[in-house]
Structures are given as structure tokens and as C-alpha cells.
Structure 1
């Protein structure tokens, strides 16, 4: 008797690194599941380990959080050091906000606040570089929530910039990306962030809560389209992984 139909084929896993007890991978997680991947969610801040190799994972995403890549906490240093695993194996890696800053720290770059203490909290312009334009189309504005930015370290290619924080998206090697903005944001996440983080909207350069929701109405469709295309290039689907040669198209 053939029992193969009774057992589902294991779905390829994407490692998801989160930093708060109730954090969510949001739209990025939703889209990865739609593409046939399962999510291996780990929170080193609360004691979870990270793998020694990417052999059992199709890719990895380190998300944002309220902490800084400059913090002395052990889990912060652990994650920064761990990024060597996907970089060395040239496995798909994506750092979002804090995750991007951690990758920059790993590469010897600097993470720091704006010289005039400006923040980006809300929707702000995004401008692709020539390399970014060659790679794909980019949204006109993206959602931001940060008070520190990152250098473009040696060995990284700048893909997108903005007036206040000039380094918005970088690529390292064939399959590692860092982005300062938040394409994972869902409506529910925006409600949560703008409620719990309301005091941050008083910081220099921050937008008011009503402007966050107005911006989402105008710009979110383009961000969703960008994310879908980016995931095509970065990781593909469980059945059809992204081809490394496509990732090198802009080189």
C-alpha cells in the first residue's frame, strides 16, 4: 500500500529572528508562507539558539526591534556574529532595520544616529541608485521607524538612498540584503506601533499618527508590489528557488 499521500512533504524553512516577546514577521512572513516556505521563528533575546549552518534553511530574516545594534547585550553580539553563517555560505539573508544595522556592524561599518538627531518615523522618500534601478523598480515612499542609520561598509553595494538617512538598502555578495525600511508592516502592526510608540512621534522629523495611516493609504500598494518582486529575486518559491545568476544581474 502506498502511504506517501498520507505524509506531507516537509516545507523548506526560512529562519525568522525576532526581538520582542510578541513580535510578528508581518507581511514578510505571510508572503513567505504563500510561497511554500515554513517559518522557523527564533528569539535569541529569550534564549533561542541559532543554527551553525544554513544547510537546513532556505534563507534567513533578522527583523527590527527597539534595541540598538550598538547595545552591549549578549544576544545582540550573538546575532551580529551569527550573520557570518549566511554570508559565508552565500545563503539568502535579509536584514530589516535593526537586522540591516547588525549586518553592517558585522562587516565593520558604523551604526549611529543622525548628526542633528533627526528620525524617520512614518513615510519618507526612497531613491534607488543606478545599481538599484538595474535590479528592480522601487516604491516612491516607504515606511520607516528608526532613530539610527548605517554606513555602507566595504564590500557592500548601495541600492537605495534618501535625504535624511542616505543608506537605505544595500546588497552584500549574491544574496544578502539590508534595508532600513519596513515592508513587513501590516495595518494591525501600524496600529500597535503608533499606539505604543506614540511618544516617539514627538522626536525631530517624526510624522504624526494620522499621517502614518494617510501615507499607508497612498503608498502601501507600491510597497506590496515591491516586496513581491524582491522576494522573487531574493528567495523565489519553495518549488522554484531564486537563481543566483538573477541576483547578480546588476553587477
Structure 2
């Protein structure tokens, strides 16, 4: 069974449904929860792929502010260098952008939170993971920072009117998603309860925001569970080639 390293920078954003989908697709997840002190490996040599999730930290934090992200950045650098199958989500995608030569900043149009859509770019049609997605798939947003510049050589795969850099690929196997696909309604409610600034940036009050997110979760699963299966296929194919 192929093994994924799943880095969880904060207990507020566990693998949740994404973890279930990846396990159902036949992958083993080695979860490392940084918020409760789990150590990170120094390399990816014992893993066939990498998943990095989100959290309240900022990708602009220096090593003293968020020391737990030092090892995450190192692993993402290794993944880029070796083109290891990687799925980096929200904070993970921002860290990946910074490591790869892109730029992250506080979002110029404020926080983006709640259920929304993203739109595939033309390049997505030829991508093995994004190609089968509908033109405007449902996603869940919750970020205060934005990816202002993509990593060097990245291919933009999805955008929306709020922030243009919603999904991208570097090389053949390394993906960054600014949005969330892993959430549960309970997670969204916890985020809303702990982030009054984010909720205030939404056109909806807290209860409406949470209700809209809960209503979108079945559609998110319908689209993104098969996406997770395609990522699992990518992991297996890459591991077979490397064997």
C-alpha cells in the first residue's frame, strides 16, 4: 500500500473527509499533527506522496513566529525538487508558493470565506486531476492571505473573481489548492466561531454562512472525492515508476 505523509499544521484543519477519500482510494496516511507535537521526518524517502493542510498560521510568518512551519517548508522544497506527488491546501498552497519562488501577502481584498465556486482555466483540461472536474466546481474558502505570485514555472489551473490564483501545478505532480475540499460542516462552524474578522468580511451573517457551507458539502464531495481518487492513482503511478 502506498504511503502518504499528511502534515497537519493545526488541529483546526485535520484531513477529515479528504483523508477518508484517500484511504478509500487505497492509500495509507501517516498523519503528523504539529499542534500536538508530532515530529516531522527529515525527508520523504519513506513516503510516496505528501499532503499539507491548512491552519491559522500565515505563510509570511518567520521561523521565530511559527517554528513548526520550518520542517514543512523543507519537505515542500524536497517535493518540488523531486516532483513527488503533493497536494498542498490553503496554508499548504501558500507555503508551497513561497518555497517555489512565488509570493504570499495579506489579501488585498480582505478575507475570502465560505462556500463558493472556482473556475477551471484552459490548462486544466489537459491536467490528469483537474481535467474531469466540472467547469466551475464547488469549494470552501477560508483564508486571509493570498498567493500574489505563483511559484516559478507553475501552471494556473483554477481562478475566481476574488483571488485569481486558486489552484496550480508545479512540474507534473505537485499541486496547490488555495481553497478547501476536506472540510465538514462542523469544522466550518468552528472556524466561523473563532474568526470574527473573516465572518465580517462575508456578505452573510455567521448562521447563513454556516448553512450555505453545510448545503454545499454534498456537492463538494461529489466533485472532489473522485479528484482524491485520481490523486491516489497519480501517487501509485509515480511510485511504480520510481521502483
Unaligned runs of 5+ in 2: none
Report which stretch shifted further, 102-111 or 72-81.
72-81
Cα distance, 1:64–1:99 mapped onto 2, change above 3 Å? same
Cα distance, 1:38–1:233 mapped onto 2, change above 3 Å? closer
TM-score by length of 2: 0.84
Q: CA RMSD for the aligned pairs?
A: 2.4
State the secondary structure of the residue aligned to 1:67: coil
If asked which structure has higher relative contact order (CA below 8 Å, sep 6+), I would say 2
Report which stretch shifted further, 149-158 or 164-173.
149-158
Aligned to 1:68: 58
Structure 2 Cα separation of the partners of residues 218 and 48 of structure 1 = 34
Q: How does 1:196-207 map to 2 (within 5 A)?
A: 196-202=194-200, 204-205=201-202, 207=204
Structure 1 Cα separation of the partners of residues 46 and 95 of structure 2 = 22
Aligned to 1:247: none
How far apart are residue 188 of structure 1 and its match? 2.2
How far apart are residue 104 of structure 1 and its match? 0.3
Aligned to 1:12: 2
Unaligned runs of 5+ in 1: 1-10, 245-251
Aligned to 1:85: 78
Aligned to 2:21: 31
| CA displacement 1:34-63 (0-9 Å, x = unmatched) | 122222111345554333443322211110
TM-score by length of 1: 0.81
* Matched residues, number: 230
Cα distance, 1:187–1:242 mapped onto 2, change above 3 Å? farther
User: Based on CA coordinates, which of the two structures has the bigger radius of gyration?
Assistant: 1
Is the CA contact (8 Å cut-off) linking 1:94 and 1:178 kept in structure 2? yes
Decide which of 174, 177, 192 is 2:175's aligned counterpart. Answer: 177
Decide which of 191, 195, 201 is 1:193's aligned counterpart. Answer: 191
